[in-house]
Chains A and B, each alone.
Chain A
Amino acid sequence: MAKILIIDDDADIVEAVKIVLESKGYTIITANEGDAGYKKAEAERPDLVILDVMMKTKDQGFQVSYKLKNNPELSKIPILMLTSVGRETGFRFNKETDADYLPVEEFIEKPIKPKDLLVKIEKLLKQK
């Protein structure tokens, strides 16, 4: 079963995502901060990364996504980005407008709807 890395500084979000994904049999590894998350990605080579935007800095998630995509060994790992600023408002975190310069495959908005999360993860893993 696929191995998924969750990088988020909000322990409750990590917990919620973890419970949902584990119930479907995914193997979960977690990191509560961007730099640690990147190291875990290097060490563990997950099949997918779930990445928060605002952590240590306002845009640490973006930085991590660039680093992952610029590492030839990790660049194939799909990234699902967690945003707390919704798609409705779109500001700076909108797939329609930011896909060109944001190297992530998919977005999901907080609060996380389990069904939505599972659909997106399955889709991303299939595409891989």
Chain B
Amino acid sequence: MKQTTNLLEEELLQRLEWFIYIRWAAIVFIILLFLTAINLFKVILPARPIFLLALFIAIYNAGFKFYLKHKILSAANIRRFAIIQSMLDIISLTILIHFTGGAENPFIFYFIFHTIFTSMLLSKKESYIQAGIICFLVVGLFMLEYLDVVPHYPVRGFLNTDVYKNSAYLTAISFVFSSTIFIATFFTASVSERLRLKEDELKEAAVKLLEKDRLKDEYVKMVSHDLKSPLASIQSLLEVILGGFAGAADEKTKEILQRIYKRTEFLHHYTKDLLDLSRIRAERNLNLQRLNIKDIIYIAAELVMPKMGEKQIELNVAVDKNLSEIEADKELLIHVFANIIANAFKYTLSGGNVMIKVLQSDGFVITEIKDTGIGIPAEDMPHMFEEFFRAGNVAKTTKGTGLGLSLAKYIIERHGGNISIESELGKGTIFRFTIPISARKMSS
């Protein structure tokens, strides 16, 4: 729950900034309206108090702006800050109304805008208290002028009779004004409260979902680790028998053991991929260091080559000489390269070749891994990075888990880069991915 409150405060802070802009606009509006009224409509208005008031608003607005920029506000302070701003605005507007005709000024209804704007920010209770204060100040002003406690400033040229002494008019305008303010408050507060509740629910749901996803990853990690250990033991024992270390076995037994070994090996790879996927996704921070892509490629190729068996495939590496070091997670990057290089080898027939090209452009290192392999059917292309997906032309014939590429994509995106594939069935495939040179470009 604490998190949702924080989010609300953040939103409040943003709106406060927005209010500062509106206030600058309001100052310009007051001055323009004043100049238009006296010059175009020949209305007589007291210039000095109005300009002084505009100056007063400008000064406190600048103060707010400065305060917001230089002080880090706590949650409670933000609320107090919002209320102070709102009160100063109400007082300024009331003074402006006073110098521009009081009850005779049709602009009194501009209080509605203030009411609507601030009711979106304040709590329901605060909104109603604010509506009460507005009505109290405005109706109070009418009364004080009516009773001659404060002077009345008529708007001669616009209204040449004194309505402010007309008690029936004053009663009517006070009632209409107050009810308008309260009804506006009611609608705004109700709608914004409902929106706020919905927003809270959504935010809470998002937080819960993230936590669930993390728990799932933890669970998969635990389970796959517990699966991996016995599998490794089974395989180690099978290796001992198949290697003839435990005495000779006849051919039929060996063949059956070989089958068991193959099935176990697949299961082992599968759990390893699952374990990698969940571990990397559960990892919150990248372990960033400065790296040379060339080293990464050689480490990755060294990991992949021994598994290629008898296949004769040529590997060419062309790395731009002036390539900068990049800031990245070494283990994860090795994982990406090893995975894509292994794929290229796996799906390229003997006699083919794999070409790795790395160059630099626009703050990114761009890697291209191109093979002359079997390619990917067009209809499978959009799904290649989905978890557990395997292309139609290899799903039955080659063993694989369908997790490698989705993990590669995840790692690259964690680094702030992106990955794409280009492929022609029967001709070959190109994997292209970018990694930002500086970690500052990274997405969270």
Contact = CB atoms under 8 A, between A and B. Distances in A.
A96 interface: yes
Nearest to B287: A97
Interface stretch (A26-34, A40-48, A68-76, A80-88): A80-88
B77 interface: no
A90 B331 contact: yes
B235 A111 contact: yes
B288 interface: no
Interface in B220-274: 225, 228-229, 231-237, 239-240, 243, 245-246, 268, 272
B228 A84 contact: yes
Contacts of B37: none
Given A89-B331, A90-B334, A97-B331, A112 B236 contact: yes
Nearest to A114: B243
B95 interface: no
Contact of A110 (B236, B245, B335, B338): B236
B317 interface: no
Contacts of B331: 89-91, 94, 97
A128 interface: no
Interface string A90-126: 1100101100000000000011111100000000000
B229 A16 contact: no
A97 B330 contact: yes
Contacts of B299: 96
Nearest to A94: B331
Contact of B240 (A16, A89, A97): A16
Nearest to A10: B233
A23 B233 CA distance: 19
A10 B239 contact: no
B245 A19 contact: yes
A86 B272 contact: yes
A16 B235 CA distance: 10
Contacts of A15: 237
A114 B331 CA distance: 27
B237 A88 contact: no
A84 B229 contact: yes
Given A97-B330, A114-B243, A88 B236 contact: no
Contacts of A23: 245
Given A96-B299, A113-B239, A115-B243, A88 B233 contact: no
Interface string B322-352: 0000000011001100100000000000000
Size bin of chain A's contact surface: 20 to 34
A110 B272 CA distance: 12
A20 B248 CA distance: 14
B276 interface: yes
B124 interface: no
Interface in B271-308: 272, 275-276, 279, 299, 303
B170 to A, nearest CB: 79
B272 to A, nearest CB: 7
Contact of B239 (A91, A94, A114): A114
Contact of A12 (B233, B276, B338): B233
Contacts of A91: 279, 331
Contacts of B276: 89
A13 B232 contact: yes
Given A89-B335, A111-B268, A113-B239, A19 B233 contact: no
A16 B74 CA distance: 63
A90 B279 CA distance: 12
A111 B239 contact: yes
A96 B292 CA distance: 14
A63 to B, nearest CB: 19
B403 to A, nearest CB: 12
Contacts of A16: 233, 236-237, 239-240
A96 B334 CA distance: 11
Nearest to A15: B237
Contacts of B272: 86, 89
A31 to B, nearest CB: 17
A114 B245 contact: yes
Contacts of A94: 331
A85 B229 CA distance: 10
Interface in B386-430: none
B240 A13 contact: no
25 contacts: A10-B229, A12-B233, A12-B236, A13-B232, A16-B237, A16-B239, A19-B240, A19-B246, A20-B243, A84-B225, A84-B228, A85-B275, A86-B272, A89-B335, A90-B334, A90-B335, A91-B279, A96-B299, A110-B232, A110-B236, A111-B233, A111-B234, A111-B239, A114-B240, A114-B245
Interface of A: 10, 12-13, 15-17, 19-20, 23, 84-91, 94, 96-97, 110-115
List the 10 shortest-distance A-B pairs measured between CB atoms, nearest first: A111-B235, A110-B232, A12-B233, A16-B236, A90-B331, A111-B232, A112-B236, A114-B243, A111-B236, A23-B245
